[in-house]
């Protein structure tokens, strides 16, 4: 302690005392020397001590009940910050804030410096995080399994309008949430040879091996009812240093094994909705799958003795195909280590696994060159051949399966260089295969999985995505939450469907007024943040029109930007008209190797620069690209949005989940009939959403027919003016040809149908202007959005998984 500590100890609550005790004895600082990060760590560790008791109780209770456990395998968990979530789920917010205040520490300030755990790219990883929270909330005994990446999602800096990727070091100050479990370590082999003896016993002798070590993070459910485990694997060399080599003077070579092991968990592949396709990625996938499956099998045998009862006590869900090699790993353990005959092992495997598909984009369907797969995982390759033989024999028995269908079902793609198809492997090895929104599930049946669907017609089912209302309403929008509670009471906090009672308040003028005040104050908050970080001043009374998500051509940020340019033209040509003041907000990252996506980011920045400095559009139009989009930024932006842009080419966005977050926070959606937008429309009603554009069927028909984008562009005055302006360098005077190729891509091919949907989109935007003019009507629609999207809670989604796939409720 410091020599003249002035804070009188008697005024301190026991909680404040515990925080100080933690600070001193576990961080090793006294109150004087402590910095914000120390207070943050001390607060988390104190809270964690309390969580541990609940955590252990949860484990004991599942064990005593002999309960079925759910295992969610995902290469991505996009968690964000944990402190605020944990405090709120434990109902300890006020108490901890008070305790810290008595120590002169501002809780909000230390919450703000907690780094985002960004172990994911976008929607798929964020869905996994929402699911973890909902599984704990629904009191399901569940484990998430993933990789503890040292560098998660890169940090994005915008330099002169260009995206620059920097490593993010979320572990720089340590991670007070996690527990290293040295005792939970597994041998993971790669390469080598497979030998068999006469008795049919197979032996795989890997050429190299690393050790997987578990790190556990507690996941607290709503009201702290249950605490589940997120188990992330790190890698360690068995021989961290080869002393002989070191002593012989080879100081670098002596550490090569450790460096090689660490490279496995070093980085998250930063590609979203596309496949990474590198040997290291396959190694990551196998490393994490093998560790997780070994852990699951060990736990089962320890608790229940007989591995053949695994499907009764464990449900393993594959989050897309990234963990699909788990199927072959379980088969290997069952056959080679537990001596099950192939057929029995196959039965156990299929009854245990479920597979969720998240995209039909061809570039995202994982497949591995067969020689690579065989070299890295020779035993698994044998098993995949055996599985394939069994499946293809079954297919041949069905009279409706011709050669074409059999080739489509095969786990091996024989067109050109032979490849292992991970989606087919996941499909045949699972008793359930689900899509993530109704349209997407139908398209799965009609396109990529058409033949597999004919062979196994019961297997494909739909589970429309959801979001946790704890983070995406109560956490990020406390003012709206308080307003709702005042109006309808607290029942919605335990069941988001209860938000329905808010519906009638849409007709209550005084409620709408208060609702509008909350939105405005959120917009003021965001404007302040943007002013501080970029210098740009925004008018909080303008319409905040927001598109934040990964930058990808199918998501069509380009459509939005081109429309922005067209609007800019219109405002300049007709300054006398009654334009709606708008702020166009963009944020999002592009995969580092995705050229067009990076050009789109640069274009958004170039357009922003030009428009924001043009006095002729004055207060009517402002454009901002906010850098380094992540979960915490989303939590700040979404509560301040009036309009949510969900404008993907129909048939290409499997679901989307940002769309749900915006609607829950009272933004209206402008969107295509794609993914979950369709179901959002069904819930909020046609009058409370703005829909435009081609349907998925129309897109498919146009692609199959002769789509001529050049004619469409030339036939639309607004569109051709905007495209020409961009192509000719109006927004890039320093490099007039910068956008020539990007714009030529629209004239020549336009795979994402920007031209076909432009006029519809522009007209929809003008209808938004008209709605905005009738402000009370707009607010009524916004209230109805909040009231009617409770169904999109991930509690509902997880309930469906638990009952219909996992048999765990």
> In the complex, which residues of this chain contact ligand TH1 (CB under 6 A)?
121-124, 127, 271-273, 320, 358-359, 364, 436, 465, 653-657, 675
> 313 vs 358, which CB is nearer to ligand TH1?
358
Give φ, ψ of 292 to 5 degrees: -65, -45
Q: Identify which of residues 121 and 352 has a Cβ nearer to ligand TH1 in the complex.
A: 121
Cα gap 731→440, rounded to integer Å: 37
Are the C-beta atoms of residues 762 and 720 closer than 8 Å to each other? no
Closest distance of CB 681 from ligand TH1, Å = 16
User: Least distance to ligand TH1 from the beta carbon of 78, Å?
Assistant: 10
Give 44 or 422: the residue with its C-beta nearer to ligand TH1.
422
Closest to 440 in 3D by CA, of 786, 253, 674: 674
Cα distances (Å, whole numbers) of residue 695 to 60, 299, 754: 51, 48, 13
Of the candidates 384, 280, 385, 266, the one whose C-alpha atom is nearest the C-alpha of residue 324 is 384
CB of 788 to ligand TH1, least distance (A): 20
Catalytic member of 359, 464, 657, 669: 657
Q: Which of 68, 555, 622, 788 is catalytic?
A: 555
322 in active site? no
Strands 179-190 and 208-220: antiparallel
Query: Which C-beta is closer to ligand TH1: that of 273 or that of 352?
Result: 273
Measured between alpha carbons, how far is 568 from 12 in angstroms, rounded to an integer?
59
Residue 218 vs 270, nearer CB to ligand TH1: 270
DSSP reduced 3-state for 710? helix
Least distance to ligand TH1 from the beta carbon of 631, Å? 14
Measured at CB, which residue is nearest to ligand TH1? 123
Q: Other C-beta atoms within 10 Å of 139: how many?
A: 17
What are the strands, taking DSSP E only, across 465-552? 543-548
Which of 22, 121 has the CB closer to ligand TH1? 121
Of 325 and 391, nearer to ligand TH1 (C-beta) is 325
Residues 6+ apart with CB under 8 A from 104: 7
Cα separation, 25 vs 491, in Å, equals: 41
Catalytic residue among 550, 582, 584, 622: 550
* Shortest Cβ 540–ligand TH1 spacing (Å): 30
Strand partners, 398: none
Q: Least distance in Å: CB of 659 to ligand TH1?
A: 9
Residue 657: CB minimum distance to ligand TH1, A: 5
Segments in 309-457 forming alpha helices (H): 310-313, 325-332, 342-352, 370-376, 378-397, 403-409, 422-428, 438-446, 450-455
490 burial via Cβ count (<10 Å: 0-12, 13-18, 19+): exposed
**Distances in Å between the alpha carbon of 636 and those of 168, 473, 639, 645?**
20, 11, 6, 17
Which is catalytic among the residues 68, 69, 523, 549? 549
Q: How far is the CB of 275 from ligand TH1 (least distance, A)?
A: 7
| Measured CA distances, 95 to 12, 87, 219, 481 (Å) | 12, 9, 20, 19
Q: Which of 661, 683, 771, 788 is catalytic?
A: 661
Give 704's Cβ-side CA count (13 Å radius): 6
**661 counts as catalytic:** yes
The two most distant CA atoms of the chain are separated, in Å, by 90
Active site residue 431: no
Residue 553 Cβ vs ligand TH1, minimum distance, rounded to whole Å: 13
Told to judge if 589 belongs to the known catalytic residues of this protein, a careful annotator would answer no
Cβ count near 574 (within 10 Å): 10
Smallest separation, CB 422 to ligand TH1 (Å)? 11
Distances (CA, A) of 249 to 26, 245, 257, 260: 39, 6, 16, 20
Provide, rounded to whole angstroms, the least separation between the CB of residue 671 and ligand TH1: 13
Percentages helix, strand, coil for the chain, rounded to the nearest 5?
A: 55, 15, 30
Which is nearer to ligand TH1, 326 or 522 (by Cβ)? 326
Cα→Cα distances 351→261, 345, 381, 385, 704, Å: 33, 10, 21, 20, 39
Q: Is 550 a catalytic residue?
A: yes
Q: Which of 29, 32, 1, 44 is nearest to 104 (CA)?
A: 32
Measure the CA dihedral 557/358/669/580, to 10°: -10
Question: Minimum distance between the CB of residue 678 and ligand TH1, rounded to whole angstroms?
Answer: 13
Nearer to ligand TH1, 74 or 720 (CB): 74
Name residue 179's beta-bridge partners. 216
Residues 6+ apart with CB under 8 A from 176: 40, 41, 44, 45, 48
Please check whether residue 473 is in contact with residue 665, taking contact to mean a CB–CB distance below 8 angstroms.
yes
Toward ligand TH1, which CB reaches closer, 273 or 672?
Answer: 273
Pick 123 or 588: Cβ nearer ligand TH1: 123
Reduce the DSSP state of residue 805 to 3 states and report it: helix
**Residues 295 and 185 sit within 8 Å (Cβ to Cβ):** no
Whether 318 contacts 326, CB under 8 Å: yes
Q: Are the C-beta atoms of residues 546 and 643 closer than 8 Å to each other?
A: yes
Of 470, 476, 469, 453, the residue nearest 526 (C-alpha): 476
Q: Is 549 a catalytic residue?
A: yes
Residue 669 CA to residue 674 CA, distance in Å, equals 12
CB of 695 to ligand TH1, least distance (A): 17
Cβ closest to ligand TH1, residue 326 vs residue 527: 326
CA quadruple 435, 437, 438, 439: dihedral, nearest 10: -90
When the beta carbons of 121 and 632 are compared against ligand TH1, the nearer one is: 121
358, 470, 556, 622: which is the annotated catalytic residue?
358
Q: Which residues are catalytic?
A: 358, 549-550, 555, 657, 661
């Amino acid at each position: 302690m410091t020599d003249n500590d002035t804070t009188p100890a008697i005024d301190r609550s026991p909680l404040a005392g515990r925080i100080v005790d933690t600070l001193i004895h576990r961080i090793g600082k006294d109150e004087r020397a402590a910095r914000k990060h120390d207070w943050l760590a001390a607060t988390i560790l104190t809270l964690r001590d309390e969580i541990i008791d609940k955590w252990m109780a949860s484990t004991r209770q599942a064990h005593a009940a002999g309960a079925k456990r759910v295992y969610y395998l995902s290469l991505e968990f996009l968690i964000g910050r944990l402190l605020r979530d944990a405090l709120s789920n434990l109902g300890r917010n006020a108490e901890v804030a008070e305790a810290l205040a008595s120590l002169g520490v501002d809780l909000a300030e230390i919450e703000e410096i907690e780094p985002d755990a960004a172990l994911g790219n976008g929607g798929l990883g964020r869905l996994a995080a929402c699911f973890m929270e909902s599984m704990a909330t629904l009191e399901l005994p569940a484990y998430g399994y993933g990789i503890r990446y040292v560098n998660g999602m890169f940090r994005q800096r915008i330099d002169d309008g260009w995206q620059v990727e920097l490593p993010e070091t979320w572990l720089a100050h340590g991670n007070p949430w996690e527990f290293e479990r040295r005792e939970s370590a597994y041998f993971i082999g790669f390469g080598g040879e497979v030998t068999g003896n006469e008795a049919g016993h197979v032996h795989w002798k890997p050429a190299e091996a690393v050790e997987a070590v578990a790190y556990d993070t507690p996941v607290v459910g709503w009201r702290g009812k249950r605490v589940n485990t997120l188990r992330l694997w790190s890698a360690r060399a068995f021989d961290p240093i080869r002393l002989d080599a070191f002593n012989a003077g080879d100081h670098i070579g002596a550490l090569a094994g450790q460096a090689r092991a660490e490279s496995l968990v070093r980085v998250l592949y930063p590609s979203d909705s596309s496949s990474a396709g590198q040997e290291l990625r396959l190694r990551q996938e196998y490393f994490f799958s093998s560790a997780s499956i070994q852990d699951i099998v060990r736990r089962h045998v320890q608790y229940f003795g007989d591995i053949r009862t695994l499907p009764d006590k464990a449900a393993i869900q594959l989050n897309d195909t990234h963990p699909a090699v788990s199927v072959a790993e379980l088969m290997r353990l069952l056959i080679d280590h537990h001596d099950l005959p192939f057929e029995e092992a196959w039965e156990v495997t299929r009854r245990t696994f479920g597979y969720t598909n998240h995209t039909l984009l061809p570039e995202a369907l994982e497949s591995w060159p067969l020689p690579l797969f065989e070299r890295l995982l020779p035993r698994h390759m044998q098993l995949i051949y055996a599985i394939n033989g069994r499946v293809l024999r079954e297919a041949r028995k069905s009279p409706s399966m011709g050669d074409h269908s059999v080739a489509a079902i095969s786990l091996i793609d024989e067109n050109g260089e032979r490849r292992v198809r991970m989606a087919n492997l996941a499909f045949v090895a699972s008793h359930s295969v689900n899509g993530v929104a109704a349209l997407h599930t139908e398209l799965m049946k009609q396109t990529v999985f058409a033949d597999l669907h004919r062979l196994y017609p019961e297997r494909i089912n739909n589970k429309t995505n959801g979001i946790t209302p704890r983070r995406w309403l109560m956490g990020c929008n406390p003012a709206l939450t308080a307003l709702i509670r005042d109006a309808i009471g607290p029942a919605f906090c335990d069941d988001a469907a209860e938000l329905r009672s808010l519906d009638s308040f849409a007709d209550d003028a005084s409620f709408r007024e208060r609702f509008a005040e909350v939105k405005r104050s959120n917009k003021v908050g965001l404007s302040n943040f943007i002013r501080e970080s970029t210098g740009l001043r925004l008018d909080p009374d303008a319409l905040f029109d927001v598109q934040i998500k990964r930058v990808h051509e199918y998501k069509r940020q380009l459509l939005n930007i081109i429309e922005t340019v067209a609007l800019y033209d219109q405002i300049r040509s007709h300054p006398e008209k009654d334009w709606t003041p708008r702020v166009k907000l963009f944020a999002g990252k592009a995969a580092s190797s995705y050229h067009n996506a990076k050009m789109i980011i640069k274009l958004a920045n170039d357009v922003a620069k030009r428009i924001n400095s043009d006095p002729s559009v004055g207060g009517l139009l402002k454009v901002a690209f906010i850098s380094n989009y992540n979960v915490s930024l989303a939590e700040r932006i979404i509560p301040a949005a009036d309009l949510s842009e969900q404008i993907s080419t129909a048939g290409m966005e499997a679901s989307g989940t940002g769309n749900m977050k915006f609607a829950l926070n009272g933004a209206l959606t402008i969107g295509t009939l794609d993914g979950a937008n369709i179901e959002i429309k069904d819930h909020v009603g046609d009058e409370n959403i703005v829909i435009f554009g081609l349907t998925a069927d129309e897109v498919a028909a146009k692609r199959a027919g002769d789509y001529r984008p050049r004619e469409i562009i030339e036939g639309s005055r607004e569109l051709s003016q905007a495209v020409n302006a961009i192509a000719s360098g109006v927004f890039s005077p320093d490099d007039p040809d910068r956008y020539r190729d990007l714009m030529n891509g629209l004239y020549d091919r336009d795979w994402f149908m920007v031209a076909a949907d432009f006029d519809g989109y522009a007209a929809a935007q003008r209808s938004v202007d008209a709605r905005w003019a009738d402000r009370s009507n707009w607010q009524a629609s916004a209230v109805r959005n909040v009231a009617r999207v409770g169904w999109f809670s991930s509690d509902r989604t997880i309930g469906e998984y638990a009952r219909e796939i996992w048999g765990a409720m």
